[in-house]
Amino acid sequence: MLKRALVGLLVLWSGFSLLAEARRAVTSWDARAGWETRPDDWRLGSPPAARLEACLAAVRRIVPAGSTVGLATPAEPPESALFYTRWAAYLMPAEEVFKQGEAGARYVVSWRVPLAAPALAHLRPARQLPGCFLYEAARP
């Protein structure tokens, strides 16, 4: 009898746990318009991810599939760069996306702010896009 009661209590506890987590998830989903967080805490459908998606959707329309694209985040803390890059790679699966400077890129996307020297060396501005700036490598 004691065993049954203990297992029953565990089931009750896990049920309450599920309800609490579901409630939290639904509440945050309802408030997702205000989900302004660091990129390691972005979620699909959250505003920062949607803004990056809008920028990269415009980039995808301009750069040919398979292009090498470097992502620069000069206005963000350096430790965030990896997360921005991973999101950008996910949102541009047909292109080769990496952090600017990791390899030679045909195109560079600068998130939120334009690039300044010396990052501008060998690049020429191509287009201002929603929330970002697109550069193309100057041909040698």
Partner 1 sequence: MSLWALVAAAALFALLGFLGSRFAAVLAAPADGTLYRGVIYTMAGVVGLHLVLTVLDFAVVRWSLPVLGLACLGIAALGLAVSGRGVAKSLHSPSFGWGDALAIFALAVFTVLAVSGWITMPDFIYHWGLKGHRFYIARGVDYPFLEHGWNWSIHPDYPNLVPELFAVTALVAGSFDVPAMLLGTAVLFALFVAACREGLIQGGADRFLQQAGTALVALSCAAFGIGYIMAGAADWNLALALAAAVPPLLRPPDRTGDFQIAVASAFAAASKIEGVPLGAFLVLVQIVRRLWASWAGGRPSLWSAVTAGLLPAAVVLPWLGRAAHHHLFQAFNSSAFELGRAGEVFAGVGEALWLPAWHGFLPVMFLPPLLLIPRRTRAFAAAATLELLFYFYVYFTTAVGSYRYFVLSNFPRLGFQLIPACLVAALVAWGARKSERPAGTL
Q: Which of 74, 96, 106, 120 binds partner 1 (CB under 8 A)?
A: 96
Residues 49-88 that bind partner 1 (CB under 8 A): 82, 86-87
Interface with partner 1 (CB under 8 A), residue total 37
Does 38 help bind partner 1 (rule: CB under 8 A)?
no
**End-to-end alpha carbon distance in the chain:** 82
Q: What's the min distance (Å) between Cβ of 98 and partner 1?
A: 4
Q: What's the min distance (Å) between Cβ of 140 and partner 1?
A: 22
Encoding tokens for residue 103?
């390899």
Q: What is the DSSP string of 31-89?
A: TGGG----GGG--TT-HHHHHHHHHHHHHHHHSPTT-EEEEE-TTS-GGGHHHHHHHHH
Q: Which of 7, 62, 75, 138 binds partner 1 (CB under 8 A)?
A: 7
Residues 104-133 that bind partner 1 (CB under 8 A): none
Does 29 help bind partner 1 (rule: CB under 8 A)?
yes
Q: Which of 25, 60, 29, 56 is nearest to 45 (CA)?
A: 29
Q: Which of 33, 94, 113, 138 binds partner 1 (CB under 8 A)?
A: 94
Return d(Cα 87, Cα 114) in angstroms, integer: 20
Return d(Cα 57, Cα 37) in angstroms, integer: 21
Return residues touching partner 1 (CB under 8 A).
3-4, 7-8, 10-11, 13-15, 17-18, 20-22, 24-26, 28-29, 32, 40, 42-45, 82, 86-87, 89-90, 93-94, 96, 98-99, 102-103
